[in-house]
Copies of this chain bind each other. A is one copy, B any other.
Amino acid sequence: MEAAVRIAARGRPDGLTGRALGEELGADRSAVWRHFADKDGLLLAVGDRLLVMASGRVAEGLGPRQRLEALARAVVDVFEAHPYVGAAIACRTTRGPGEFALVEMMLAALGELGLQSRDVARYQRMLADSVLAYAGMCAGYAVLPKQVQDADERAWVREYSNADPKRYPAIAALAPQLAATDDDMVLDTLLEAFWLAVDARARNTAIPTPSQGGRRA
């Protein structure tokens, strides 16, 4: 497992293959499949380790909002730092301790923010899927060869600035704002929008009773 995480952390060109794992451990590449049922089992195990690493990065003593922000950023960072596994595992349920820790942390934090329990479950699932999907997307991008990454990035600055104003008036009008984008902006905006939505939702459905799950008056 440690060797697998090490290989996954090597980044772009290297995938986590049986051959690479065998070499790292000084064994034949087919020996890996004595310890994991198949490639899927290996990826699930390493993927859950990534989630353990991410939830372990959340500092103690933070408020619910900061805890969720730290967790979201940690998931994206860890997936980007282990891109091959991150891209492969974002759509899966690892069912391991890492996933449980992440879900538990999210549910507890959302409960503290004043949402009803039905909304806590819905918003947790939505936030978890959004963050995992976004992290998987970032990881998928990080796996690409550097020259492909550069071509994709340039497109946003160059090709969108030259869009035909007749066919694409909104793009042409907003080209400067579209080009002025840094890497963290998307996740920042996603979290900003999430807090606005949680606040609005908590305000609309708030029950002033101090006891939990207060009944209708």
Q: Which residues of A are interface residues toward B (Cβ below 8 A)?
A: 40, 87, 90-93, 95, 100, 103-104, 107-108, 111, 117-118, 120-126, 129-130, 132-134, 136-141, 144, 148, 152-153, 155-156, 159-160, 163, 167-171, 173-174, 177-178, 180-181, 185-186, 189-190, 192-194, 196-201
Contacts and interface: CB of A to CB of B under 8 A. Distances in A.
B134 A129 contact: yes
A122 B200 contact: no
Given A120-B177, A200-B196, A137 B126 contact: no
Contact of A177 (B117, B133, B200, B201): B117
Task: From A100, A120, A121, name the one whose CB has the most chain B CB atoms within 10 angstroms.
Answer: A121
Nearest to A100: B168
Number of copies: 2
Contact of A186 (B90, B125, B181, B189): B125
A118 B176 CA distance: 10
Given A93-B156, A194-B197, A199-B200, 15 more contacts: A91-B144, A92-B141, A103-B160, A117-B174, A120-B174, A121-B178, A121-B180, A121-B181, A122-B189, A123-B193, A124-B178, A126-B193, A133-B136, A136-B140, A193-B197
